[in-house]
Amino acid sequence: MHNRPHRILLIARRDYLATIRTKAFIIGLVVAPLLFGGGFLGVALMVNKPDIKERRIAIIDATGVAAPAVIQAAQEQNAKDLFDKTTRRQMQPRYVFEALPPAADPKRQRLELSERVRHERLFAFVEIGPTALQAPAPAAQDDTPDAKDAKPAPVAAYTNAGGFDETSRWLSNAVNEGIRRVRLTQLGVDQSRLSGALAEVKVDRFGLVSRDPKTGEIHEASKKNEVAEFAVPFGIMLLLGMIVMVGSSPMLSAVTEDKAQRLVEMLLGLATPFELMMGKVLGALGTSLTSSAFYIVGGTLALYGMGLSGMVPFAVFPWFYAYLIADVVFLCSFAAALGAGCGSPQDAQQLAILLLAPVMIPYFLITFVMQQPNGAISTAMSLFPPFTPMIMLLRQAMPGGGVPAWQPWVGLLGVLAFTLVMVTAAARIFRVAILLQGKTPKMADLVRWAVRG
């Protein structure tokens, strides 16, 4: 086909300028990170605004000796965790306990306490059974979930709070600690010596020691920064996904609107369908590169300003841009083809989910990949072209991630080949579908056009 680069560049320039001059683009530059990062920011803010309302907990102690120990352990734990050590702000609710002897009618006692919980005069109540102080016999220590569920636990906690309420875990620790102390006392063990012997040993994490190739001097390893280990790969993957989505998702509706407004036929008299599509794709790419430059430069300067220049992952920036270009070109071509096939903007909205998949699925896999960056599934997913940009970048950005050197190159080749195939298929669909009016092609039509043109 007789495609001329100047036409592609002209269309790209027009679309690029038309986009970046809009208020929506400028506002989007600021709003997009808030939308994408807002959830995490929200969680961070919520962490600083904990529920610190006093919580009253009743303990029914059938052993007669466990309750005071449990309350003491709980109060010690509460005193330790109540305030943030740096800010001195209260970060946990204050727990207040009341010990109750078992009543003659346990059911009625449980009902009365449940009513108090329902009326919010009590947060929860704990029933320590008469066998709680007995250490389980070794033969009976069957920890399988079925065996655990079959036998009633010696301690029961009753609460109206949700399943993930932090109090349950907190209370469980306090009850265990209290009962353990009573057991140790009954065994005659000196607890002050035992707690020292069982104290946790802190382990510092370091990188690797290296040798200066010029001087031969051995450089000590630097201590690992756990924040950087998480924030840098997570942040750069989040940024890539955000820029790709912001850059490519408008393409679908833009092409559909051009088609609906009959703008396309005029342009097709001046440029081939391929030139038109690629012009639009490159325009969107220009927009994405502009956004990325804004965020990368802004982020780098911010980290320098905060004295965290060591966290800037300069080594992955070239990969970031290679993946960004491939991802935007592939997704925009795909969007243009889908947009050309849509009969109306409503049709386009229904198909938008297809464009989100290559970005959203890797987002769902972040935790898994970060836990096992070189596991078989992480490796396979990062070599699957639609997911390569996001997942391979995440693996590469993890300090000491240990990604074999060949994998990013193979991944990039796969992405480029995949992008080429997608652009070719999209151009075929675009050429056939863009002038269709009044008919929405079926998926089988799109596949046929993609294969045969």
With CB under 8 A as the contact rule, the residue among 59, 67, 252, 264 that binds another protein is: 264
With CB under 8 A as the contact rule, the residue among 192, 215, 261, 346 that binds another protein is: 261
Residue-level length of the chain? 453
With CB under 8 A as the contact rule, the residue among 20, 65, 267, 361 that binds another protein is: 267
Q: Is residue 447 a contact residue for another protein (CB under 8 A)?
A: no
Smaller CB distance to another protein: residue 268 or 421?
268
**Which of the residues 414 through 443 are near another protein (CB under 8 A)?**
435
CA separation for the pair 175, 196 (Å, rounded):
20
Closest distance between another protein and the C-beta of residue 261, in Å? 6
Smaller CB distance to another protein: residue 105 or 265?
265
Closest distance between another protein and the C-beta of residue 275, in Å? 8
Q: Is residue 23 a contact residue for another protein (CB under 8 A)?
A: no
Residue 224: helix, strand or coil by DSSP? coil
Name which of 394, 400, 358, 359 is nearest 378 in CA terms: 394
Name which of 5, 6, 9, 2 is nearest 285 in CA terms: 9
Contacts for 164-172 with beta carbons within 8 Å, 24 or more apart? 167/55, 167/93, 167/123, 167/124, 170/77, 170/92, 170/95, 171/57, 171/74, 171/124, 171/126
Residues contacting 146, CB < 8 A, separation 6+? none
Q: Which tokens hold the place of 90?
A: 């209260």
Closest distance between another protein and the C-beta of residue 343, in Å? 15
Q: Is residue 354 a contact residue for another protein (CB under 8 A)?
A: no
Binding residues for another protein, total number by CB under 8 A: 24
Q: Is residue 398 a contact residue for another protein (CB under 8 A)?
A: no
Smaller CB distance to another protein: residue 18 or 194?
18
Name which of 351, 342, 297 is nearest 320 in CA terms: 297
Q: Is residue 55 a contact residue for another protein (CB under 8 A)?
A: no
Name which of 327, 320, 317 is nearest 244 in CA terms: 327
Name which of 1, 125, 135, 141 is nearest 59 in CA terms: 125
Q: Is residue 223 a contact residue for another protein (CB under 8 A)?
A: no
Which window, 1-9, 62-70, 214-222, 241-249, contacts another protein (CB under 8 A)? Answer: 1-9
Residues near another protein (CB under 8 A) are 1-2, 4, 6-7, 10-11, 14, 18, 258, 261-272, 275, 435
